[in-house]
Structure 1
Amino acid sequence: MTHVETGITAELVRDLLHSQHPDLADRPVRLGARGWDNQLWRLGDDLAVRLPWATQAADLLLRKEHAWLPSLAPHLPLPVPVPQRLGEPSERFPRPWIVTTWVPGAPADRAPATRAAEAAEALAAFLTALHRPAPDDAPSGGHGRGGPLADRAEQFAELLASATETGLIPDPDAVRSVWDDAAAAPDWAGPALWLHGDLHPGNILTADGTFCGVIDFGDLCAGDPACDLAAPWILLPDDAGDLFHHAYQPAADAATLRRARGWAVLRALGGILIGEAGLRGRPGGKPTWGPPAHAALRRLVATARR
C-alpha cells in the first residue's frame, strides 16, 4: 500500500472544496469511513467526498467512476454513489478526488442480509439491470475481472496454497474440485456486459435485513457476467441462491453458473486471507471479511457434493 504523505483531515477536505468547489465548502464535514483505496468524508447529509489514500490505481478508478457511473445510475434499482464533482490534483493534495451522493446503509460484512427472499430479489434486480451490453469503449477489468476464468488459475493456486499452509480451510481438495469444474466450463461467448466487478460484503449495503445500496464502482468494467454472478454465494443467506437465480433475467446458462462458482471461490479465498490476520492487505486484516467468506466456501463445497 502507498498511502498519501499528506494526512487527510476535515480541514484538508474543506480547503480542497474552498479551492475547487466553493459552493460546497460551507457544508459540515465528518469522517465516514476508511476504505481499501479511499477515505470517505461525509459532506452534509446527502453528499460525500472520496479521496484516494492507498494504491496509486485508485486515481484512475475514481476518474472511471466519474466518467461512466452517472449514465448507468438512473437505470439501477438500488441507490449507488453518483459522482457530482471531480477534484483535480493540486499542491495541497496531489491526487484526484470526487464528490458523490451519499448512500445510507451498513456494509454487509458488518450487517449481513437476513431476509433471504427480499435480499435475493434485490440483488437479482440490481444485476439484471446492470448486466446490459456495454459500448466498445467501456473499460476492461483490472486483475482479469470479466475475462476468461481459466486465466486466473495461477491466482487460484496461490490463494489455495496460502489458505492451506495457514490451516484456514478444512478441505482444500474439495475447494480445488469446485475450481477445476469451473475453470473447465466454456468461455463466455456473448457480448461484453457491464459489470460491477467487486461485489463483496464490504461493497453492498443493508438495512432491515436486505440490500439497500451498492458502493465502490472502481472496478466497473465490461465482460463475462459470471464475475458478478459469484455474488449470491458471497452475499446471500443459506438457501437463498435458488431464489436469486430464479429472479435474475435472462437466466444464466449452465456454463456461466459454473464459471460463477469459480469466481466465488476466488473471492471467498481472498476474503478468508484478508480477514484472517491480514495475510493479504493491510496489517491487522479485516476481521469482518472472514465469516462471510468461510460461509461462502462452505456453501460452494456443499453444493458440489450434491
Structure 2
Amino acid sequence: MGTMHADEAETDADLVRRLLRAQFPQWADLPITRLASGGTVNAIYRLGEDLTVRLPLRPGGGEAIAMEARLLPRLAPLLPLPIPEVVATGTPGEGYPLPWAVHRWIDGRNPAEGDLAEPELVARSLAEFAVAIRTIDLPDGPPAHRGEPLIAEDQEMRAAIEALRRTDEPFDADEIAAAWEKALAAPLWTGAACWTHSDLMPSNLLLAGDRVSAVIDFGTVGMGEPATDLIPAWNLLPASARRVYRETVDVDDATWARSRGWALSMAVIQLPYYRTTNPIISANARHVIREILATSA
C-alpha cells in the first residue's frame, strides 16, 4: 500500500525499534512486523506475540492516542465485546513527530464484505454492541468524530460526488446525489447525545472463527447520535442479515434512513480519495455504494 496522505508521516520497523529502544527498552528486541490493514489513520506493527504499536500517520493523530488512553479503560467493562487495552503511550522522538501507543494484541482477522460464514450471528453481535454503547452512562464524553447532524457532511459529500463523476468508477453520480438527498430528508435526531464508536468499518472489527471477537480503533469515539453506529448494515452485512440487525438495534425509520446516509457519505468521500492508494477501503466503498443504491429505489 502506498502513501495515502500528502502530510503522512513515514514509518517503518526500524523507526519502531528505535522508539522502543529509547522509551520502552524492555520491548526493543521483540520481533516487529507491519500489519496489512485497510486503516487510514495509524500504521500498525505487531510487536512480539502479545503487543502492537500504533503510530498515527497524520498531524493531529496524537489527540486520538491520548483520548483512547483515557477512555478505553472506562468503556471496556461496559461493552459486550472486547476492545483495545492501552499498555503504554510514547512521545515524539527519533524523527517521528507524534505521540504513539502500545496496545495489547487481540487475536482475530478483519471481516470482508460479502464473505461472512455466519452473517446473522455477526449481525446480532454488532447490533448488541451498538445498543450497549449508546446506553452507556459516563459523564464528560467528548464530541464524536461524526457527532454533528448529517447535513454537516453535505459540502464535502457534494464535492466527492463531483470528483467521483470525473473518474471511471461505474456509478451514476446523479443516482448517488438522489440517494443523498433522500437521506438528508430524514427527520433529525432529537434525543440526547449518546456514546458512539462512529467508525464501525470492517477494518475496525475482528472476527475469530465466525464470531465477532473485538471492536478496535476508538479514535472517533464520543457523544453523537445512534445512526452513526448502524453503518455495518451497509458496509459489511448482506441483505439477508440486515433484518436481524435492524430488529436487534430497534431504531425508528428516521434513524435507519440517517444510517444509510452516514454510510453513503463515508463511502463516496472515501472512494475518490483512496481509489489508487488503499484497495481495501476502496473495495468496501464500492460495496457500500452498490448496496445503498440497490435499497434506495
Task: Give the structure-2-normalised TM-score.
Answer: 0.87
Which residue does 2:278 correspond to in 1? 286
* More displaced stretch, 145-154 vs 84-93: 84-93
* CA spacing shift, 1:112–1:80, aligned 2, 3 Å: farther
* CA spacing shift, 1:262–1:196, aligned 2, 3 Å: same
Give yes or no for the alignment of 1:98 onto 2:105: no
- Summarize deviations over 1:14-34 as a string: whole Å, max 9, x none: 443344334444544333346
Which residue does 1:172 correspond to in 2? 173
Structure 1 position 121, deviation (Å): 0.9
CA distance in structure 1 between the partners assigned to 2:272 and 2:90 by the alignment:
34
Gaps of 5+ in 2: none
Structure 1 position 224, deviation (Å): 1.0
Which residue does 1:132 correspond to in 2? 135
CA distance in structure 2 between the partners assigned to 1:94 and 1:265 by the alignment:
34
- Summarize deviations over 1:98-127 as a string: whole Å, max 9, x none: 111112222234884332111111211221
Gaps of 5+ in 1: 278-284
Structure 1 position 42, deviation (Å): 1.6
Aligned residue for 1:106, secondary structure, equals: coil
CA distance in structure 2 between the partners assigned to 1:175 and 1:238 by the alignment:
19
- Summarize deviations over 1:227-246 as a string: whole Å, max 9, x none: 12122111112321111011
Which residue does 2:231 correspond to in 1? 230
1:191-210 correspondence runs (5 A): 191-210=192-211
* CA spacing shift, 1:275–1:206, aligned 2, 3 Å: farther
Structure 1 position 135, deviation (Å): 4.4
Pairing partner for 1:108 from 97, 108, 111 = 111
Paired residues of 1:31 and 1:42 also in contact (CA < 8 A): yes
Which residue does 1:3 correspond to in 2? 8
CA distance in structure 1 between the partners assigned to 2:74 and 2:136 by the alignment:
14
Paired residues of 1:113 and 1:210 also in contact (CA < 8 A): no
Aligned residue for 2:189, secondary structure, equals: coil
* CA spacing shift, 1:209–1:296, aligned 2, 3 Å: farther
CA distance in structure 1 between the partners assigned to 2:236 and 2:279 by the alignment:
16
Pairing partner for 2:124 from 117, 121, 124 = 121
Q: Which amino acid aligns with 1:4?
A: A
Aligned residue for 1:40, secondary structure, equals: strand
C-alpha RMSD over aligned residues:
2.4
CA distance in structure 1 between the partners assigned to 2:66 and 2:115 by the alignment:
30
CA distance in structure 1 between the partners assigned to 2:184 and 2:83 by the alignment:
32
Higher relative contact order (CA 8 A, sep 6+): 2
Which residue does 2:68 correspond to in 1? 65
CA distance in structure 1 between the partners assigned to 2:9 and 2:178 by the alignment:
42
- Summarize deviations over 1:107-156 as a string: whole Å, max 9, x none: 234884332111111211221222225645312133xx121111211122
Paired residues of 2:91 and 2:98 also in contact (CA < 8 A): yes
Aligned residue for 1:239, secondary structure, equals: helix
- Summarize deviations over 1:169-195 as a string: whole Å, max 9, x none: 433333222211211222211121111
Q: Which amino acid aligns with 2:259?
A: A
Give percent identity, aligned residues only. 35
Alignment: residue pair count: 291
Which residue does 1:282 correspond to in 2? none
Structure 1 position 293, deviation (Å): 2.5
- Summarize deviations over 1:253-282 as a string: whole Å, max 9, x none: 1211111111011122134334532xxxxx
CA distance in structure 1 between the partners assigned to 2:16 and 2:182 by the alignment:
49
* More displaced stretch, 127-136 vs 74-83: 127-136
* More displaced stretch, 210-219 vs 86-95: 86-95
Give yes or no for the alignment of 1:273 onto 2:269: no
Give yes or no for the alignment of 1:83 onto 2:75: no
CA distance in structure 1 between the partners assigned to 2:175 and 2:18 by the alignment:
54
Q: Which amino acid aligns with 1:175?
A: I
CA distance in structure 2 between the partners assigned to 1:163 and 1:242 by the alignment:
30
Paired residues of 1:185 and 1:259 also in contact (CA < 8 A): yes
Q: Which amino acid aligns with 2:291?
A: R
Aligned residue for 2:199, secondary structure, equals: coil
Which residue does 1:281 correspond to in 2? none
Aligned residue for 2:240, secondary structure, equals: coil
Which residue does 1:37 correspond to in 2? 41
CA distance in structure 2 between the partners assigned to 1:255 and 1:79 by the alignment:
30
Which residue does 2:258 correspond to in 1? 259
Structure 1 position 85, deviation (Å): 1.2
Q: Which amino acid aligns with 2:185?
A: A
CA distance in structure 2 between the partners assigned to 1:269 and 1:209 by the alignment:
29
